[in-house]
Amino acid sequence: MGIGTRSVGALVVSAQGLGCMGMSQSYGAGDESESIATIHRALDLGVTLLDTANVYGDGANEELVGRAIADRRDRVVLATKFGIVRDAAGNQGAQGDRAYVRQCVQESLRRLGVDHIDLYYQHRVDPDTPIEETVGALTELIDEGTIRHYGLSECSAETVRRAHAVHPPAAVQSEWSLWTRDIEDSVAPVCAELGVGIVPFSPLGRGFLTGAITSTGQFEEGDMRRGLPRFAEENLDANLAIVRALSSLAERRGVTPGQLALAWVQSRGEHVVPIPGTKRRRYLEENVAAASLELSGDELAEIGAAAPASAVAGERYPEHLQRTVGR
């Protein structure tokens, strides 16, 4: 069985995409040749949606993805993002005014080496610029053919509604996994109501739900997970209990815990297209295999009982980053 396709808004993509961020930042040292081989293998397996952003590796990730797809652009639904800015001290903020949007898209086109972007997200909502201005600028880019569709990332349900009133977004990207369920209360229902796709990033809990992580001592210097509360030693035991329960169910089904966790995200709806990130072919192949894993109602209930949202210990982000989501 092939990986199949799903629709996010009016855009048809593979039922699972590939998150490319870790190839250039956040999860230890990269390996360009293996990363490019991973992208090529993804395309050969039927994955069409590749996800990057202008801030990943300070532009290096867009350049890497551009090199990887240079001779196979027609096989790719290319997604990138704008909107995260950092001051001289490294503090993260957001920007979304019209001039900035237009500047960013030209820079991304140059780094990617393409003449258009298929899905262009606002990475974080700018609290000082009305979403109507940002979406107005994105609509201009659609009309000009510079981008085909736009999306939003880590936004509130109210922002989705306001944006949709100007021009319907194809997708909302947000973290969604068995241990991150924040969007289920309001954002996910609004997306379903309005016909907006959902593109979950970190559907494997930044690798934790695979069962491969048992200590923060496993992380290389520079790995962002060293600074995330859920990986802190005081939260690790409680969160490992979730993984043990998930692993027991996965063993019974004859799959890995990561595949079970990924299949759970995929089961959330036909408009849901997770983008597990990896920089290695062997993990990519394991993830893609989960796209054809169908779960029964009983299995979904068991998974929900094994990994209830209330059992997760620790916040998603440290406080200074948590403030930037859900606007």
pLDDT tens digits, one per residue of 124-151:
999 999 999 999 999 999 999 999 999 9
pLDDT at 312: 92
Q: Is the pLDDT of residue 181 over 70?
A: yes
Q: How far apart are CA 115 and CA 11, in angstroms?
A: 18
pLDDT at 180: 94
pLDDT tens digits, one per residue of 192-208:
999 999 999 999 999 99
How far is C-alpha 207 from the chain's CA centre? 13
pLDDT at 76: 98
Q: Is the dihedral of CA 284, 285, 291, 295 positive or negative?
A: negative
pLDDT tens digits, one per residue of 285-294:
999 999 999 9
Domain membership flag for residue 140: yes
Give the mean pLDDT of 224-230.
88
Amino acid identity of 57? G
Q: Is the pLDDT of residue 63 over 60?
A: yes
Q: H or E element: which one contains 281? A: helix 281-289
pLDDT at 29: 72
How far is C-alpha 267 from the chain's CA centre? 16
Q: Which residue has the higher pLDDT, 167 or 26?
A: 167
Task: Give the Cβ contact number of residue 197 at 10 Å.
Answer: 26
Domain that holds residue 93: 5-205+267-294
pLDDT tens digits, one per residue of 66-115:
999 999 999 999 999 999 998 888 889 999 999 999 999 999 999 999 99
Give the three-state DSSP class for 163.
Answer: helix
pLDDT at 319: 83
Q: Is the pLDDT of residue 46 over 90?
A: yes
pLDDT at 223: 84
Tally the residues of the chain. 327
How far is C-alpha 132 from the chain's CA centre? 24
Domain membership flag for residue 139: yes
Domain membership flag for residue 307: no
Domain membership flag for residue 302: no
What is the domain count for the chain?
1
Give the mean pLDDT of 227-233.
89
Q: Kindly name the residue from 56, 120, 121, 150 that is annotated as catalytic.
A: 56
Domain membership flag for residue 62: yes
Q: How far apart are CA 179 and CA 25, in angstroms?
A: 23
- Residue keyed to tokens 């709806």: 269
- Within 13 Å, how many C-alpha atoms sit on residue 26's CB side? 19
**pLDDT range class, residue 324, cuts 50, 70, 90:** confident
Domain membership flag for residue 251: no
pLDDT at 196: 98
**pLDDT range class, residue 254, cuts 50, 70, 90:** very high
Q: Is the pLDDT of residue 15 over 80?
A: yes
Say if CB 14 and CB 287 are below 8 A apart: no
- Residue keyed to tokens 């090529």: 40
Q: Is the pLDDT of residue 118 over 60?
A: yes
Task: Give the Cβ contact number of residue 224 at 10 Å.
Answer: 17
The question of whether 120 is a catalytic residue gets the answer no
What CATH number did the domain enclosing 133 receive?
3.20.20.100
Q: Is the pLDDT of residue 25 over 80?
A: no
Q: What is the mean pLDDT of the chain?
A: 94
Domain membership flag for residue 249: no
Domain membership flag for residue 235: no
Maximum distance among all alpha carbons in the chain?
54
pLDDT at 318: 82
Q: Is the pLDDT of residue 27 over 80?
A: no
